[in-house]
A and B are shown apart, each in its own frame.
Chain A
Amino acid sequence: MNAEVVILGRRISMAHQSRRRALVVILYAALAILMVVLFVSTGWRGTGGFVIWAAIFACRFFLGGYYSGGLVKPFNGKAPKQHVMPPSLLALKLRVYQAVPAGDDSAWRSDERELHQRDHAHYLAFQAIGAVICVPMLIASMRLIRPSLMSWIPMPPDAMYYGLTLVALILFLTLPQAILLWTEPDMEEENQEE
């Protein structure tokens, strides 16, 4: 796991667990607010994909896991490809772009403890995503058996199932990294010896 994240060109230390937890809370709160705003304004008609893009953006620049940026090393344990294309305008504007250093790829590889942590985080995320997927199944079952019991839900069924699927997809993209950031204890400085 990397110890710092770049936001607006500033390197911010994430060595402390409390900071990483705060980042996770902020990112999920932002995604939740975005979902609510898009639902209220458009009913997710044509805009639900924006939430997915926001989750990908969060992974790309803050959470990591799939890309060169972010705190969690790439899950596949491989160094990211060198960019032949220039960074996106958005990344440059927000000054979150980090160039991938050439040569030594050891910084991208996870060691055996990190791989163990990665696998455990995916196991936990798998349970959580399974639980989320159960919700639309249960609601749909109730609608089929006793439609009157589900009449209190203030949302068209399609929008509700779409929203729950969107939540499951966001969790699929972000939850393993969030679990890693949440559970990893304070990181010691390289020169901090006991």
Chain B
Amino acid sequence: MNDNDVQPPGESGLYNRIAVLRAERGISRQSLADGVGVNYQTIGFLERGDYGPSLKLAFQIAEYFDLPVEAIFSTRPLKPLSQQVYASSKSPEMGKP
């Protein structure tokens, strides 16, 4: 899996990076499901964009990955993580408080 595997939204209309983050950190669907208190099948539905999570579940997933919720879910297509990180590191504003 690579950064370009950001899933297009299915029925939910939400883009997300769950599959990318899970692969990057070597976390199984079952572990993530146990961590946020859902069925592992639901993680598959979320990754494919076939199910839009509640606000509570979206925040639980964000907390699990220790990322802001907007880094994981978006209504607009998400850029590949590598592209976003590289663009940020080149920006002169990067690192300023």
B62 nearest CB across to chain A (Å): 16
**Would you call A111 and B37 a contact (CB within 8 A)?**
yes
B54 within 8 A of A: yes
A16 nearest CB across to chain B (Å): 14
Which residues 23-66 of B have a CB within 8 angstroms of A? Answer: 28-30, 37-42, 44-45, 47, 51, 53-54, 56-57
How many B residues touch A, CB cutoff 8 Å? Answer: 19
With A112-B57, A193-B28, A193-B29 as contacts: A188 and B41 at CB distance below 8 Å: yes
Q: Which of B39, B42, B54 has the most CB of A within 10 A?
A: B39
Q: Which of A111, A112, A113 has the most CB of B within 10 A?
A: A113
**Would you call A113 and B40 a contact (CB within 8 A)?**
no
| In the complex, chain A residues whose CB is within 8 Å of the CB of B47 | 194
Q: How far is the CA of A1 from the CA of B28 in the complex (A)?
A: 20
**Would you call A190 and B40 a contact (CB within 8 A)?**
yes
**Would you call B30 and A113 a contact (CB within 8 A)?**
no
Which residues 69-124 of A have a CB within 8 angstroms of B? Answer: 110-114, 116
Of B19, B38, B40, B53, which is within 8 A of A194 by CB? B19
| In the complex, chain B residues whose CB is within 8 Å of the CB of A190 | 29-30, 40
Nearest 10 pairs of A and B residues by beta carbon:
A111-B38, A113-B42, A113-B51, A111-B39, A188-B44, A111-B42, A112-B54, A190-B30, A190-B40, A187-B41
Q: A111-B37, A114-B39, A190-B29 are in contact. List 16 more A-B contacts (CB 8 A).
A: A1-B41, A111-B39, A111-B42, A112-B38, A112-B56, A112-B57, A113-B41, A113-B42, A114-B42, A116-B51, A187-B41, A188-B29, A188-B41, A190-B30, A193-B29, A194-B47
